[in-house]
């Protein structure tokens, strides 16, 4: 009996052991599966977080650069790559390896010493002048140790250009105002000192004062006009405009100036009807024809002609036979206050804004303006305007 009981006990113990082992193994497998699922979920959560972080970083307008504690690139956003025109992978590279900018490498070392650097400006060494503003700070961990560096980049190029334009504008306006004001002041003081007693001298001085007063008034009017054009405040009154008739009207207005230099005014425009603001086109023709008379040769001719282009627009040109414009100045003649010959231009009494006004008026009509010239062969100014549609006419 005892042997049977012993065998039964052993068998029961073995069965119990196998059951517990199977249960334990099942529990271990279940636990392993749960751990694997948790790890998978954690990895997915981490990937989602990184993806959301990357989307957030890429949505920033400012360029973002994260460096690890060894000063190597850890993360950059899309704006940063666009600022520097980068397409290759930067992660793991130093700033010098990635950008070839020693100034930024020096900035990172400075940030590590000072913890934060704001409003640092850097000029990029490329052909087109570009400026960036950099704000940088050290990233620390819970223990207060340096864990990396973050740099945020903002493109300052447009602001720098606007600032330079503003400075040039103020300087040019000041200069243009100073010359006639100095003349007016000088002649008024001379008259007050006794020259008014001589009628002949007084009349000559008063004519000079009147001429410079008109010059000041013209400058102010041109400044107001170009300000309204550039800001978009000037509204166009579009209507059918007979270009040939408008040119004849401008010729009549400038007839005395042309006679003073014995310049022939030639209107070779065919019958062309533009869809435009007649008063603004009057300014365009007046400025271009006046310049052609002013800078063309004496006893020469100023010619206005045009045609209809294949796309339906009208192209008009004003041609003189003067000394021409140097090649390096052709791209700049439409800038405010730009003068090819500064001394001669000021002697002629211009404001330096005429061609800039022409450009803005033409562009407001959706047209384009350009100039062609060879030294010694005169200059030809072209502009386009929309033609009147047949059904509108």
- Cα four-point dihedral sign 322, 247, 350, 369: negative
Q: What is the pLDDT of residue 172?
A: 73
Q: What is the pLDDT of residue 53?
A: 60
pLDDT, tens digit, for every residue of 221-248?
877 877 777 777 778 889 999 999 999 9
Q: What is the pLDDT of residue 8?
A: 63
| Pair 267, 299: CB distance under 8 Å | no
pLDDT reading at 4 higher than 70 = no
CA dihedral (43, 45, 51, 55) in degrees, to 10, reads -170
Tokens linked to 253: 């207005």
Nearest-angstrom CA–CA distance, 38 and 173: 72
Q: Which of 1-10, 13-22, 37-46, 329-338 has the least mean pLDDT? A: 1-10
pLDDT reading at 17 higher than 70 = no
Sheet holding 379-385, edge to edge: 264-267, 301-308, 314-319, 379-385, 369-373
Please choose, from the candidates 122, 68, 116, 120, the residue with its C-alpha nearest in 3D space to the C-alpha of residue 99: 122
pTM: 0.59
Q: What is the pLDDT of residue 46?
A: 62
Nearest-angstrom CA–CA distance, 77 and 84: 11
Nearest-angstrom CA–CA distance, 228 and 279: 15
Is 156-234 assigned to CATH 1.20.58.220? no
For residue 279, CA distances in Å to 109, 140, 176, 270, 393 come to: 62, 66, 26, 20, 19
Q: Give residue limits of the domains in the chain.
A: 58-155, 156-234, 237-393
Q: What is the pLDDT of residue 392?
A: 44
Q: What is the pLDDT of residue 153?
A: 92
| Tokens 């819970």 found at | 142
For residue 280, the tally of other CB atoms under 10 A from its CB is 23
pLDDT, tens digit, for every residue of 281-304?
998 999 999 999 988 888 889 999
* Residues facing residue 148 across a β-bridge: 68, 139
Nearest-angstrom CA–CA distance, 254 and 303: 14
The residue that leads in pLDDT, 362 or 44, is 362
Tokens linked to 220: 């102010």
pLDDT, tens digit, for every residue of 186-213?
888 888 887 777 788 888 888 888 888 8
φ, ψ of residue 203 in degrees (nearest 5):
-65, -40
CB within 8 Å of 143: residues ≥ 6 apart: none
| Tokens 């950008």 found at | 99
Architecture of domain 58-155: 2-Layer Sandwich (3.30)
Q: What is the pLDDT of residue 391?
A: 46
Q: What is the pLDDT of residue 56?
A: 62
CB within 8 Å of 373: residues ≥ 6 apart: 324, 325, 330, 379, 380
CB within 8 Å of 201: residues ≥ 6 apart: 195
CATH code that applies to domain 237-393: 3.30.565.10
pLDDT, tens digit, for every residue of 112-128?
889 999 999 888 877 57
Instruction: Judge whether 58-155 and 156-234 match in fold.
Output: no
Q: What is the pLDDT of residue 383?
A: 94
pLDDT interval class at 251 (50, 70, 90): very high
Q: What percent of the chain has pLDDT over 90?
A: 22
| Pair 240, 275: CB distance under 8 Å | yes
The residue that leads in pLDDT, 331 or 317, is 317
16, containing H or E segment: helix 2-59
Q: What is the pLDDT of residue 181?
A: 85
Average pLDDT over residues 321-343: 78
Average pLDDT over all residues of the chain: 82
CA 223 to chain centre: 21
Nearest-angstrom CA–CA distance, 323 and 300: 12
φ, ψ of residue 68 in degrees (nearest 5):
-85, -175
The residue that leads in pLDDT, 59 or 281, is 281
Nearest-angstrom CA–CA distance, 146 and 152: 18
Q: What percent of the chain has pLDDT over 70?
A: 85
Q: What is the CA radius of gyration of the chain?
A: 39
């Amino acid at each position: 009996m005892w042997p049977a009981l012993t065998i039964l006990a052993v068998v029961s113990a073995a069965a119990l052991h196998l059951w517990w082992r199977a249960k334990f193994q099942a529990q271990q497998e279940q636990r392993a599966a749960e751990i694997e699922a948790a790890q998978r979920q954690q990895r997915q959560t981490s990937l989602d977080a990184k993806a959301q972080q990357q989307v957030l970083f890429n949505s920033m307008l400012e360029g973002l650069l994260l460096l690890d504690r060894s000063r190597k690139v850890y993360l950059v956003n899309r704006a940063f790559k666009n600022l520097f025109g980068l397409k290759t992978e930067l992660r793991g590279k130093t700033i010098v390896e990635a950008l070839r900018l020693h100034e930024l490498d020096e900035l990172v070392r400075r940030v590590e010493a000072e913890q934060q650097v704001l409003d640092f400006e850097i000029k990029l060494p490329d052909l087109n002048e570009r400026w960036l503003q950099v704000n940088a700070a050290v990233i620390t961990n819970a223990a207060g140790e340096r864990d990396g560096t973050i740099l945020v980049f903002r493109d300052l190029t447009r602001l720098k250009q606007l600032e330079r334009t503003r400075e040039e504008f103020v300087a040019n306006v000041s200069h243009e105002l100073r010359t006639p004001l100095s003349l007016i002041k000088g002649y008024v003081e001379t008259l007050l000192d006794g020259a008014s007693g001589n009628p002949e001298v007084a009349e000559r001085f008063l004519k000079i004062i009147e001429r410079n007063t008109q010059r000041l008034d013209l400058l102010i009017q041109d400044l107001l006009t170009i300000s309204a054009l550039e800001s978009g405040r000037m509204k166009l009154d579009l209507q059918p405009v007979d270009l040939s008739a408008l040119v004849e009207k401008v010729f009549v207005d400038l007839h005395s100036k042309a006679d003073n230099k014995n310049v022939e005014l030639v209107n070779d425009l065919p019958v062309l009807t533009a869809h435009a603001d007649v008063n603004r086109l009057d300014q365009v023709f007046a400025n271009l024809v006046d310049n052609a008379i002013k800078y063309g040769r004496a006893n020469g001719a100023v010619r206005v002609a045009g045609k209809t282009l294949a796309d339906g627009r009208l192209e008009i040109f004003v041609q003189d036979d003067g000394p021409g414009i140097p090649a390096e100045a052709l791209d700049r003649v439409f800038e405010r206050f730009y003068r090819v010959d500064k001394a001669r231009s000021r002697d002629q009494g211009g404001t330096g804004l005429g061609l800039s006004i022409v450009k803005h008026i033409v562009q407001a009509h959706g047209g384009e303006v350009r100039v062609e010239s060879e030294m010694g062969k005169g200059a030809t100014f072209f502009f386009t305007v929309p033609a009147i549609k047949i059904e509108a006419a």
